[in-house]
Structure 1
């Protein structure tokens, strides 16, 4: 199927219908003007060239309209978040009612746990992956403490088996069978940041719901990478950042999903602000709180328009091609990457990401034997940008929007020589 020759990579790029998308992004360059081999879209996505135009438009409207920019111009600020909703919903497989862009990732997780983590003295535990992203662990531990529970007792870890790197769904089932009466919430990373494993969201939701638990998903490494089909999965809520695969810029806003079965439940506990108040009476100021239905009902404040403009620019690019086409290319590109790495004659590295494309996105996690970060540093010296994670993994993500087969070929050739 694959070939290790440069000619093969060149031919694949010629036949790739999405190859022209690369021209829609700024590729980092060396001081000499040579393009870096950029494999860290799983940490910070590259800037779409359209971003500058969209941000400049809002700067111009601010200059020209002042406060009236909330109502004037091509994209008035008052409903600006609504310009993002349908395209974002399509990316994560949700209904527009279920999605809103707001705040940042961990803030959204806390706001969602206000609603969906309602512990009792008996049913109070929270399940996370043992190697969850640290921010998720900190958030969950602080929620447990806030409600008066000891994280040592209340935090349940879903762990890989001894000698393995990946999680097994049957082990989650065992946890729930043993402790389900004490577990209130499952908060799981849909794509694990460290291994790149893409977990079965529907299976997780079904297992949690069978035991009367709420189920939430951190999609930081999934949104714009895999097709999570959040609505069909049945999870209660999810949140994700937009600066990785969604290319919205450092520290940009996040996305939030709440399943439509909760959309009209006005009794759910939540924090309130004027932006989740009924938009028809929001500016009347002296009325009792009237929560909006759907995901919009978790908003608090009017959003930062310049950040949203960057998200809007990236979503335009996604909308041109759709997630189905991106996933098709991603599987080919990552499969080729895996093939070339496996051709290297060495015992110093191994891929710990699942080989099955249905169980991974575009990230491959390369585990380095007796690691001391020197291999990662050497790649950087050869103008290959990857991401190092302690204790021993180099994370590499060939992103289908802007990475090419030739990028993959040249990266692996450099890796081969360094090894």
Structure 2
């Protein structure tokens, strides 16, 4: 992007005036600068929706309604509900929206449990190692929960696998020397080179650290050609980028709902199981996965509900699920294609402003090791990203926390990843183009202050840094 295309604040405000979706910001409660640990009054610039989305005003209303039902109706709220959301079927208004968002049929989707629990659940069913095909492909830089979970499953099959096979079970995908993101052709090459031993290819749709969007269709095709399954972590994908699980022919997937779907801290997640995928009778059964028609007969034989819902274990937690409805209905009203169109413009505007900064340096090995204070961008250019830009702060590992602390004090709420990265994510439903402009101004001021050695760059982000939504940020 050319530096001479840098938009003015007046131009950004005009973009907001002309934005068809400018009304959706009013649907959310925007935190104040002071409440987020900053100095001053007014609303914070909240660019942390990739970790925890903001509260939808209607979600607050829904929660209060559920508390009212609990107070006045108690157990009968499971069956008779004054707002037509009986707790027994609290997931019913959610799953049609979720299925549409991930590009699946409703039968293939279940709203249940948390991301890592769902991941363990599905790996128990679909990771079936043999002495000839037992390996799992996963990116080396994957979110730790995924990394830990994947490593745990070969160890559960020590009756089939030798200690040497368990040790060699994980194939870690690494970027090329001097690069931050993975190339599709390199992943395809790894799959081909290990085609006789791979059981599962496990990838994120959007990488949590770099913000890279993966090209899933050719990876799924190649996985199936060699006889392996492919599964996805949609934590940073759902509600952020287009998900086309059926079109891509993905086998199974999991997600959380507290990021771009604004369902609240530790909210209930979900999973996808491709129609026709056979677990050969190998699953962790629970009564909520039993056929809904006979579930309350309490019969001793487990008859699974067809599709993904047959992998559920316990009844759906109401207070951790119902806030999700507000954003899902809002997305249904707005249309995700319109959201994605605005997301591309928002993030591209942020990129334009950052790249035109005097403190910006192009991404290279030298930019990552320079002692000069500045920044570069790790996230790939459009179309291989969502709304997140991962900004690498140069000048040494001690610099980023001080820059982050200065940003937070001025009301810019992103999040940091030690040792050098600040993630900034302008979210379509509640961020504006003016927010983007103000965010870059604050960020540049923080970099300038660090260059000039000003006081005030304390690590005020320590508490912010460790905030998570459930399975992870």
Once residues 376 and 266 of structure 1 are traced to their aligned partners in structure 2, the CA distance between those partners, rounded to angstroms, is 47
User: Is residue 362 of structure 1 aligned with residue 362 of structure 2?
Assistant: no
SS in structure 2 at match of 1:394: strand
Q: What's 1:19 paired with?
A: 22
Q: What's 1:400 paired with?
A: 428
Q: What's 1:300 paired with?
A: 313
Q: What's 1:257 paired with?
A: 272
Once residues 41 and 353 of structure 1 are traced to their aligned partners in structure 2, the CA distance between those partners, rounded to angstroms, is 17
Contact 1:201 1:228 in 2 (8 A): no
User: Is residue 69 of structure 1 aligned with residue 82 of structure 2?
Assistant: no
SS in structure 1 at match of 2:110: strand
SS in structure 1 at match of 2:320: helix
User: Is residue 90 of structure 1 aligned with residue 100 of structure 2?
Assistant: yes
Q: Kindly provide the CA deviation profile for residues 37-65 of structure 1, in whole angstroms up to 9, marking residues without a partner as x.
A: 11100000001001111112222222222
Q: What's 1:216 paired with?
A: 231
Q: What's 1:169 paired with?
A: 184
Q: What's 2:367 paired with?
A: none
User: Is residue 349 of structure 1 aligned with residue 375 of structure 2?
Assistant: yes
More helix by proportion, 1 or 2? 1
Once residues 150 and 179 of structure 2 are traced to their aligned partners in structure 1, the CA distance between those partners, rounded to angstroms, is 25
Q: What's 1:289 paired with?
A: 302
SS in structure 2 at match of 1:100: strand
Once residues 200 and 397 of structure 2 are traced to their aligned partners in structure 1, the CA distance between those partners, rounded to angstroms, is 36
User: Is residue 108 of structure 1 aligned with residue 118 of structure 2?
Assistant: yes
Tell me how far 1:33 sits from its aligned partner.
4.0
Tell me how far 1:322 sits from its aligned partner.
1.7
Tell me how far 1:371 sits from its aligned partner.
3.2
Q: Kindly provide the CA deviation profile for residues 69-128 of structure 1, in whole angstroms up to 9, marking residues without a partner as x.
A: 111012111111111011111111111111111000000000010111111122111111
User: Is residue 235 of structure 1 aligned with residue 245 of structure 2?
Assistant: no
Q: What's 1:337 paired with?
A: 350
Contact 1:217 1:239 in 2 (8 A): yes
SS in structure 1 at match of 2:358: coil
Once residues 167 and 156 of structure 2 are traced to their aligned partners in structure 1, the CA distance between those partners, rounded to angstroms, is 14
Q: What's 2:259 paired with?
A: 244
Q: Kindly provide the CA deviation profile for residues 175-198 of structure 1, in whole angstroms up to 9, marking residues without a partner as x.
A: 112112111111111100011000
Once residues 446 and 70 of structure 2 are traced to their aligned partners in structure 1, the CA distance between those partners, rounded to angstroms, is 51
Once residues 446 and 299 of structure 2 are traced to their aligned partners in structure 1, the CA distance between those partners, rounded to angstroms, is 67
Once residues 287 and 281 of structure 1 are traced to their aligned partners in structure 2, the CA distance between those partners, rounded to angstroms, is 11
SS in structure 2 at match of 1:156: strand
Once residues 123 and 66 of structure 1 are traced to their aligned partners in structure 2, the CA distance between those partners, rounded to angstroms, is 52
Q: What's 2:212 paired with?
A: 197
Q: Give the aligned CA root-mean-square deviation in angstroms.
A: 1.4
The count of corresponding residues between Structure 1 and Structure 2 is 416
Structure 1 gaps, min length 5: none
Once residues 56 and 318 of structure 2 are traced to their aligned partners in structure 1, the CA distance between those partners, rounded to angstroms, is 17
Once residues 277 and 106 of structure 1 are traced to their aligned partners in structure 2, the CA distance between those partners, rounded to angstroms, is 22
SS in structure 2 at match of 1:261: coil
Contact 2:126 2:279 in 1 (8 A): no
Q: What's 2:54 paired with?
A: 46
User: Is residue 206 of structure 1 aligned with residue 230 of structure 2?
Assistant: no
Contact 1:240 1:255 in 2 (8 A): yes
Q: What's 2:366 paired with?
A: none
Contact 2:347 2:388 in 1 (8 A): yes
Tell me how far 1:174 sits from its aligned partner.
1.4
SS in structure 1 at match of 2:386: coil
Q: What's 1:57 paired with?
A: 65
SS in structure 2 at match of 1:144: helix
SS in structure 2 at match of 1:181: coil
Contact 1:108 1:239 in 2 (8 A): yes
Tell me how far 1:230 sits from its aligned partner.
1.1
Q: What's 1:120 paired with?
A: 130
Contact 1:104 1:241 in 2 (8 A): yes
Once residues 27 and 284 of structure 1 are traced to their aligned partners in structure 2, the CA distance between those partners, rounded to angstroms, is 47
Tell me how far 1:266 sits from its aligned partner.
6.8
Once residues 97 and 353 of structure 1 are traced to their aligned partners in structure 2, the CA distance between those partners, rounded to angstroms, is 35
Contact 1:266 1:291 in 2 (8 A): no
Tell me how far 1:238 sits from its aligned partner.
0.5
Contact 2:33 2:410 in 1 (8 A): no
Tell me how far 1:202 sits from its aligned partner.
1.2
Q: Kindly provide the CA deviation profile for residues 253-303 of structure 1, in whole angstroms up to 9, marking residues without a partner as x.
A: 0011111132xx473411101111111111111341101101111101101
